[in-house]
Structure 1
Amino acid sequence: MLITTAPDGTEVRAMDEGRGPAVLVLHPGLDDGRSWDKVATLLAPRHRVVRLHRRQYRQDLPGPATIQQEVEHVLAAAREIDTPILLVGHSSGAVVALESLVTAPGMFAGAVLYEPPVVIGAPLGGPGGEINIRARRAIAAGRPGRALRIFIRDTVRLPAWMAFLAGVFTALSPRLRPLVPHQIDDNEALDRLGVRLDAYAGIDTPVLLLGGDRSPAHLSERLDALARVLPGAERVVLRGQGHTAHASAPAQVAATIESFATRLTG
């Protein structure tokens, strides 16, 4: 376990395993880093894999967290790790990774960004945040499964049947139920950040943009927008995969990360 302190005095926590060039993983929403267990296990024989428990999803810290507060935790963890560091961000964790690159570009050897839901136009929470408002009402009514169903159907834009199943599973899970309000906090934090493509255009750190060909179309559109402002970025498409390839195809994801890391660090 890696434990250190952020500038504001809050404790930073991360799972720490393996030896070699460092890979710092920023997990997606509704998680604490454990969803990347399989990928971490595959990378650990040749890499030091540090999986940050993102501040937005820490139930022991006051929230909600801003993106900048999350970045402070990322940079605090990075200062404790031997360089070079490959930053890997998944979903909203990839947006935090982008903001970390903007804030401290010289700290990272490169970054793998797996389908970051960057705002490129309309808010993720819909006009006036109406998706988030409906999700908050469901949480207040004691229905976290319904809240997640609203989020997955209307923000992630997965089919209604998939959103329904995810909501039922979450409602029955003692680990996931308490994370649902944090997921909505996360969505609102991304919307408050707004369109940041101009800021990302200044990133000169090597970046690999990762996406699945079965993911919702809007995620590919967001990768396209990033590719236009990061002309040196590489693009890799995971065939037959969607937004959860880290779970469904961990060997493919690990191999992609390891290949990129090897080219960066030799």
Structure 2
Amino acid sequence: MLETIVFDVGETITRDDRYWASWADWLDVPRHTMSALVGAVVAQGHDNAEAVRLVRPGIDIAAEYAAREAAGRGEHLDETDVYDDVRPALSALRERGIRTVIAGNQTARAGQLLRALDLPVDLIVTSEEWGVAKPQPEFFQRVLDVAQAAADRTLYVGDHPANDVHPAKAAGLRAAHLRRGPWGYLWAADPDVKAAADWSIDHLGELVDIAAR
């Protein structure tokens, strides 16, 4: 029986469209170019930050991020960035007594923005706030700490096999692979991902039935 469900952020709770469009605008390249580069580095198994480095080799991403914030062109999230199935699924899970947590590889600023959306969850935390990021085992130990449930009664939901499914399973958690976003679609049929994930889902609403079972 599941007691806690923990959610990744990008392409699980929120769309990444605005994030990459803002980088494209800041670097003065067409948005389609940035989107294509993100897809290319994903397909090659690289971190998506490599797309920014392809546009501007040698870029200091942290410094550039700070410059964007100072210029008033930093991170932004609002209700339009949240997938349509998020609020209904989270609300239904809480009604069934399931503890819900959002924990992903995001900045502290993203954590603030997510909390401002007043999503129906028990906790929102980010990797920068924890000082450790996926897929490091320490991240998933922190997940277990906030889950307040045994590992085999905690489910981690995400779209990225290398950051979500495989390290969650290595930590003893249950894992659901979400077929959404470039990572989700790209690896949805991968036999290793299908074998590792306890569930493969297309919609967060499916978690309500999973939790009920």
TM-score normalised by structure 2 residue count: 0.35
TM-score normalised by structure 1 residue count: 0.30
